[in-house]
Amino acid sequence: MLSRIAVRPLQPRSAVFSCRPRAYATATRERVRIVEVGPRDGLQNESAVIPPEVKAELVNKLTKAGMDIIESGSFVSPKWVPQMAGTAEVLKLMERHQGLHYPVLVPNLKGLELLLDLLSKQPKPEVPYTDEIAVFTAATDAFAKANTNCTVAESLERLSAVAKRATSEGLRVRGYVSVVIDCPYSGKVDPANVKSVSQALLDMGCYEVSLGDTVGTGNPTTVDRLLRTVIEGTGGIPASKLAGHFHDTYGMGVANIFTALNHGVRTFDSAVGGLGGCPYSPGATGNVATEDVLYALRGSPFEAPGDLDAIAKVGTWISKALNRPNASRVGRALEARRARKQLEKERENDGGAAEAISSKL
């Protein structure tokens, strides 16, 4: 029988990994949690299947760059999302650290059983492969049917069993609600539906619900309207129980985060290099880039985990590994700055011979 896993509360990352501009070192800044979803949500829409070794290396690089919550994979059927094949191997290969969290997406009881079986066979002294799962549903029946072949009500019934079993085994459970602004199949989404679905996830045991602008059409006005409905009024959900998950299709990801901050939300999902998209949302681009979020928070009353320069280098690396453009504006700017500095260094060392090289770049 599987031994129960001790639940560990989320712990703040050591200050050595915090992104804290020197000019504000003495100021008291409120902490914002970042859930790095690049290795899971970021890779699921790639056209090519990524080897487990590359996924594990991505997690390791993000850990070294200071990220303390890294969504590391998914126990979905490879038949439907082939890019998520090999999650068990990824969890075994990657370096895990005490006090950090590596949640995985679990769509149903079958996926949970696969995870629990994996955990039951892990040597006891090791840091657990994971101590948290994420479950997902949608705010519209149309999207839920396209994604999971069932209605929202049916998906909530299925997820209730998953959450109950997971919590009984000592796992934390986080919930996702997709298409909270617009649905690619049924259009504008009623914020009241988002509120009721979010409450259902909390009632079944989720400690937090991430509100996903899956299509990426949200802007500060529509996000403000959504959060006013969800947080305020009868049956309002505390902002501390919510997270923001904004795709950057129209370049509104960072602006939407600041709108959510004004409503008291303090947890956000992002992906290094702006990785992502959604197989069931045609036209949606990647998640808001982690680099862009960290840069936007500089000089603000908020601090977040992660070293910006180190994360930008990870974004450059994974973008090249996937043979795709780096979608992070900040990441591209920092990459260009590093290239300029390298060129200047070469000029100093060779007395200007690098000029001929630079003219060919």
Tokens 């100093």 belong to which residue?
348
Q: What are phi and psi of 97, to 5 degrees?
A: -125, 140
Residue 150 bears catalytic tag? no
DSSP state of 156: H
Cα-Cα-Cα-Cα torsion 262, 237, 254, 59, nearest 10 degrees, comes to 130
- CB 257: neighbour CB atoms within 10 A? 25
CB 18 within 8 A of CB 302: no
Q: State whether the Cα torsion 314-318-324-327 is positive or negative.
A: negative
Q: Could you tell me how far CA 86 lies from the centroid of its own chain? A: 19
Structure tokens that stand for 357 in this block? 């090289």
Decide the pairing of beta strands 73-74 and 172-178.
Answer: unpaired
Q: Which among 148, 55, 138 is positioned nearest to 102, based on CA atoms?
A: 55
CB-based contacts of 312-321 (< 8 A; 24+ apart in sequence): 313/65, 314/58, 314/61, 314/62, 314/65, 314/272, 314/273, 315/272, 315/273, 315/274, 315/289, 315/290, 315/291, 316/273, 317/61, 318/38, 318/58, 318/61, 318/272, 318/273, 318/275, 319/273, 321/54
Check: CB of residue 56 under 8 Å from CB of residue 93: yes
Six token digits for residue 150: 């069932």
* SS3 assignment, position 53: helix
The strand order across the sheet containing 302-305 reads 18-19, 302-305, 30-31
Catalytic residues: 278
